[in-house]
Amino acid sequence: MTVLINFKICDNAQECSGIEACPTGAIYWNSDDKKITIDNSKCISCMRCEEACPSEAIRVGKNKTEYEAIKKEFNEDPRKISDLFVDRYGAQPIDVEALIKEENVENIINTSNMPVLIEFFEDDSIECLRRSNTISKLIPGEKIIYKKVELREKSLIDKYNISKLPSLLLFEKGAIEGKIEGFYDTEHFEELKGKLLEIINKANNEVNEDCPCTWPGCPRHGKCNECQEDHHSLGQETCCGK
């Protein structure tokens, strides 16, 4: 058998679940080349790597025919690696400008004129990019500063009462307006976006309880044009009928 990796949809992370699942080291992290590497001479055809990969980037060709078919499929895949490497909640940091140190958190949240959304994470909480939700899609058009912080000490965990990582905390003028804890994969995008929008709208005092829209996570501004635009971007009909 031959193992193949579709690097168009693979985040090439050292935390690769395929590496963890492989019992022989046939898939391993090459520290010199900084990439996931395959040694097919060590493969015992157990298929654990393929089963463990959440993005289906790892495939195993059981024979030459399967190998050629998979290789052709990967080559013709229209997706681009650049589409994958954007900041996502729970995944490895991409934009170095968004990554800040723990000691700089207080200064940013206390001096910013805009709300600040900070994602706290640690090395063990990092998830696959392909399974993680894009930050820009979670807060489209929102005037919010987004930052990412790797926690190496417990001081901020205790200070902000963080019980699970990754976590998203929204700050307004230095105060916490809301918190989301734990990882949400792409299948739970709407749930995560709904919770985040609820926190944002509460901070902006823009929630209109009289709005007839009952979609989970609707901004409920009471402004039909904005309501329609938000739902239509998700492929939804507006439930108020307008």
In the chain, domain spans? 2-78, 88-204, 206-242
Counting every residue, how long is the chain? Answer: 242
Give the C-alpha separation, 180 to 202, whole Å: 14
Residue 139, pLDDT > 80, answer yes
Residue 222, pLDDT > 90, answer no
Burial degree of 210 (CB within 10 A; 0-12, 13-18, 19+): exposed
pLDDT digits (tens, 9 = 90+) for 13-54: 888 999 999 999 999 999 999 999 999 999 998 999 999 998
Of 14-18, 119-123, 211-215, where does mean pLDDT reach its minimum? 211-215
Q: Over the chain, what is the mean pLDDT?
A: 87
Q: Estimate the share of the chain in helix, then strand, then coil, as percent rounded to the nearest 5.
A: 35, 20, 45
Residue 221, pLDDT > 50, answer no
Q: Rounded mean pLDDT of 164-178?
A: 95
Higher local confidence (pLDDT), 188 or 232? 188
Q: What is the pLDDT of residue 172?
A: 92
Residue 209, pLDDT > 60, answer no
Q: Which amino acid is at 39?
A: D
Residue 219, pLDDT > 90, answer no
Q: What is the pLDDT of residue 235?
A: 67
Q: Among all chains, which residue has been given the structure tokens 């200070």?
A: 159
Residue 128, pLDDT > 90, answer no
pLDDT digits (tens, 9 = 90+) for 93-110: 999 999 999 999 999 999
Looking at the chain, the whole-number percentage of residues with pLDDT higher than 70 is 84
Residue 215, pLDDT > 70, answer no
- The answer to whether the 2-78 and 88-204 domains have the same CATH topology is no
- pLDDT-based confidence at 207, cuts 50/70/90? very low
Q: What is the pLDDT of residue 71?
A: 94
Q: Which strand (E) or helix (H) includes residue 51?
A: helix 48-52
Give the C-alpha separation, 186 to 188, whole Å: 5
Q: What is the pLDDT of residue 232?
A: 64
- Just give the CATH number of 2-78: 3.30.70.20
Tell me the whole-structure pTM to 2 decimals.
0.70
Give the C-alpha separation, 165 to 145, whole Å: 20
Higher local confidence (pLDDT), 149 or 236? 149
Q: What is the pLDDT of residue 140?
A: 78
Residue 184, pLDDT > 80, answer yes
Class for domain 88-204, per CATH? alpha beta
pLDDT digits (tens, 9 = 90+) for 66-93: 999 999 999 999 988 888 899 999 999 9
